[in-house]
Chain A
Amino acid sequence: MDMLYNVLIDPFVMMGSAPDLLIQTLWEGLVAGVLYALIALGFVLIFKASGVFNFAQGIMVVFAALTLVGLHEMGVPALLALILTIGVMFILAVTVERVVLRPLVNQPDIILFMATFGLTYFLIGFGELIFGGNPKQMIAQELYLPQGSTDLDLFGGLVRFQHIDIAAAVIASLIIAVLAVFFSKTRIGRALRAVADSHKAALSVGISLGQIWVIVWFAAGIVALVAGIMWGARSDVSFALQIVALKALPVLILGGFTSIPGAIVGGLIIGVSEKLGEFYWGGLVGGGIETWLAYIIALLFLLYRPQGLFGERIIERI
């Protein structure tokens, strides 16, 4: 009985009695959600255009951030380091296309999926070999990202909004808007959608698969870089981030693998429910439930709706 009260009633009483805390938690959840969405967006880009479930997306986030910080540590000015990092992401995209995707064209999806596992491990080893395994500080100040925070007086309590979080939300929205325009309005965007529907049909009308793949992997690389900078500014840059990046997977499940709005909504849902769950219910079972809550939510959701929030109902044919 006590337990039921603690689970079902007490958290809501707490929410009602201290709305400022609730808003603070919601805000933190939303910010985390935006970052999850950004990582998930990278997955969606690649999945849409090549049908590859890119497990390495999470590591690309870390790798991009690490390259940026690492270059800066070697004495490269911040903005130049940023440009160089973009260059590195482009080289990565080209290399992946040449070395991994091209030889594996027409293989079953699961093989490509596993190949991205290989890529993940390669990038972990490579990144650590060059930049070392120690956590690093993100060069937020040098990149002119806002510092500090604003405290707003809401519902009789102070709610703290970190400026970097606000910046993250704004930049993420911008990126999403740019990508949406890019997909729907440009020639390459149309080609991308064609490739997503059918590789063979796209090839037959003269779309170069290799070129498209380089473009999406590069775009995913840039999205990863942005996510890496934002995340790095909130904590440290280290390979521990990859566990966080894996949270993009439940986000994808909620949103569906091919839907950009799905990635965003899914990211926000996961971010918010994770923070709320941890803050209001986590204490009941000893805390730390953030590590698995997202996955369990995704799992339960899948049982109810296997095709995700925005996916179409699957009719099996034979």
Chain B
Amino acid sequence: MEEVSLRNLRFLVADDFGNFRSTVNAMLVKMGILNIELVPSGEALIAACEKRSFDVILSDYDLGAGRNGQRVLEELRHRNLISRRTLFVLVSGNAAKDVVLASYDWEPDDYLAKPITGRLLEQRLLRLVALREALMPVYQALEKPDRVMAVALLTDLSIANNRHSLAAQKILGDLFLEQGDLDKAERLYGMALQVRPLDWARLGLAKIKQLRGEMEVAAQWMDQILTDNPLYLPAYDALANNLQERGQPKSEQATVARALEVSPMSILRQKRLAAVAEANGDIPTALKAWRHALKLGEYSCHAKAGDALQFARLAVYALETGKVVESQVSDEVIKALALAGDRFDLGPVQELQTAFLRGRLSALDGKLDAAQAQIDKAEARVLNDGIRDVDVDIERVRARQALGKGESADRLLQELLKNYAYDQEALEKLDHLLPEPVSESNREWVAAVNREGIDLYNQAQYDAALDCFERARKLFPVHVGIQLNMVQALIGKKRLSGLPPEEEKQLRDALKLIGSLVESDHSQYARYKRLRQMAYANASS
């Protein structure tokens, strides 16, 4: 091993047990280290890093109340309080990596399982510092940034065939991928794989496939990596991205959910699950994921004020539409909103959204007078302060609906459509309040999904067609065209093979819904009548 010295390095040691801090301190002093700072909590660790920089941080995983070691690392890296030059070593009382693994998004430079001895600590530190020194010129080049130099240095290290080669190969592979240098990355990973089936190299090759447009092959390879090693979290993220790009939100949701089974403490994956589940119309899963995300957010730098609002919006919507009936959800929302208000500096927009949501909750609770008062007050503020924000405006519409003032809500909506006529992004959001989308992007999307469904219908692939229409219906539940297509596909299937009871019910419900939406002057009225006759004719035959 190269000659490295620990003597002049600056150390920071964090543990909530004074006993352990002094033990580690004694070990470090014995190694001749002079510059040591001891802190009792995650908060103190972060505060120390805000003031000074350190070469090595030794932190226990368990730091008592407040952030744990993993959350501290997440925050330090996220806020750029430490660079790659600072070594972060996580010490864990629990057997090795499993606890640590259960939460990792940011990997520490090393793990140490308790009990640790002075000799063990020194050995590990010497190794880590030797690696850091070998990579230091690379870090300097990357910080400059001088990528050409970094690649040259890493290439030398990679082929040196010494104990720093593997680390260099990993970094080099990432760099090639970032630069789109696919051929070079492929050669590098291929070389690494000749020796052993390394997960990171296999995933690298799968990513290259994907970047070359072979999306399905890439997904198969990622799947295979996960079959061989279900604990390899980066492969779940890559696969979820792949499925997202291919427009397979159901599989994407399943993949994110699998990653969370392995590592439930990842707040970013919980938020992703919430978003994709909501898009899939799976409201119970979305709500559950938001709950986890809010809980994890308590000590995470990835927590946002908007998280509580998103949870609240979804939960209130679910309560209003009867998709959720548990009454305690209401209390939960109130608590989440209050917490967000305490913890974050809410701007006027978020304060107003909160106020409207509170009004809707009062309405749900049957306290219509209170709801009216809350909503009027918020409305007054919108007008007085001249707030123009589509998210607030959507809340205004929903609040009127919650008070049972459908006509007033519709009037406001028509006004908003005029106000935002040239703002496609805002129109996309307003689409969800309308029977049919007005934004170009959503119109195109609905048209495309509809076309796909009609193609499938024409090939008598009724189940696939129904899937298509179902996707569109999730987003635009009262879109007459989609509903009618659905009815038509159900009738087709019924003629071919008969319908199971739940689809029979779906058919009746859809016809009932359409009946409530179209008057005799509606352009689709004739089609509706014809389909209804066909459906009932079938029923009687």
The yes or no verdict on A and B being binding partners is no
